[in-house]
Amino acid sequence: MFHEKIIDNILKSKDIPNIILYGHHTVNDKKEYLISKLDDLYNIVNKKLLIKNDIGYIITSLYYEFNMKNINNKNLDSFLEIIKNIVNNKNYYNEYSNKIIIFDNFKICTKIQNIFRVIFEKYRITTVFIIITNDYNSIIEPLKSRCVSIRIPCINNKEKRKILHKIISYKEIDTNLYDKIYEINNKKEIEILSKCKEIYDNNYETPYHKISYDILTIYNNGKFNKEILNKLKEISYNILKYLKINYFYCVFLSVLLSKNTIRDKIKYKIIYIFSNNQYQYTKSYRSILVIESLLINIFNLLAA
């Protein structure tokens, strides 16, 4: 795709500019593409999750990655202090002369953006800044003017079919599945939906199916209360301890999607919840809370 070629060429250049990656649901897919490209081009192997002042971020020999959703008024000063330390301090263990700082889920107030503008200007020679956002209009013009902006378009139907056919053969696909795929603009959600069909079609009983049906039994037992919360917490603990988390996601989602009692409109929302939760799971250092959040959010959606 054309925007991927642009990203490739920029990252290969000797003087990488500041970048804004923007779009809607598809921007997270391209963030992963950008990260994997950086890893390949610069042989990034080791990644660490560093936590300072309750702010977690990814650190490598080349780049730092911050999830801006985790930044709020309470930890803003600590966050800015971390950024200033990164751009000011020489990392003698770093193999590369320049640093790259990636700001994911970038949607912050104008006051903070103006602080960023000053940092961008002052440390442009030694630091490359990459902003990833699904709200381009919220970024102030002085920041835009200091970056190369790359718009990530929605996935077209041809690309959606390619994603789908990597996992499911043409013979297995019916019209209803295509209809669902065409309404989705997130690569991860398409992959999840197609994997779920494959898993559910196998129709065999596993510990993954059993725990999924156990969760449904809890869901059917009434309104949310402390007893249900404790049961969901216990199940979350067992999921992390005994199951492979990615396979659990697929089986549990396939069980939910197979239920005729759940309307299609709700099923689309369920897919969206799963997609976001899987992404959070890869970034969080408190996995149990992410799983608990998934089970509670699905409960609330079905109960609404």
Is residue 32 domain-shared with residue 138, that is, in the same domain?
yes
Q: Are residues 145 and 183 in the same domain?
A: no
pLDDT recorded at residue 162:
64
Pair 56, 73 in one domain:
yes
The reply to whether 166 and 249 lie within a common domain is: yes
Identify the sign of the CA torsion 84, 89, 95, 98.
positive
164 and 141 in one domain? Answer: no
Encoded amino acid at 247, one letter: Y
Cβ contact 176:268 at 8 Å = no
Are residues 89 and 127 located together in one domain of the fold? yes
- Statement to judge: residues 136 and 163 lie in one domain: no
Give the pLDDT confidence of 168-195 residue by residue, as tens digits: 454 444 445 555 555 555 566 556 555 5
Could you tell me which residues come within 8 angstroms of residue 170 by beta carbon, excluding any fewer than 6 positions away? none
What is the Cα–Cα distance from 111 to 139, expressed in whole angstroms? 11
DSSP 125: T
- Residues shown for the chain: 304
Does 126 share its domain with 181?
no
pLDDT score for 196: 53
Same domain for 142 and 228, yes or no, is no
Q: Are residues 190 and 118 in the same domain?
A: no
Among 101, 133, 152, give the residue marking a domain's end.
152
Domain count for the chain: 2
- Cα-based angle 31, 98, 115 (whole degrees, multiple of 5): 70
Q: What is the DSSP letter of 78?
A: H
Range of the domain at 235: 157-303
Q: What CATH number is given to the structural domain containing 128?
A: 3.40.50.300
Last residue of a domain, one of 152, 178, 211: 152
**Domain match, 184 and 205 both:** yes
Q: Are 185 and 26 in contact (CB under 8 A)?
A: yes
Q: Are residues 92 and 17 in the same domain?
A: yes
What pLDDT was estimated at residue 72? 84
pLDDT in tens, the chain (304 residues): 556 778 888 888 878 899 999 876 555 656 777 888 888 888 887 888 888 888 889 998 889 999 888 888 889 999 999 999 999 876 544 556 678 999 998 988 898 899 999 999 999 888 999 999 988 899 999 999 999 998 877 666 666 566 555 544 544 444 455 555 555 555 665 565 555 555 445 545 678 888 888 899 888 877 788 888 889 999 998 888 888 888 888 888 888 888 888 887 888 888 888 888 887 887 777 888 999 999 999 998 888 7
Write out the H or E segment, with its range, that includes residue 278. Answer: helix 264-283
Domain boundary among 105, 121, 152: 152
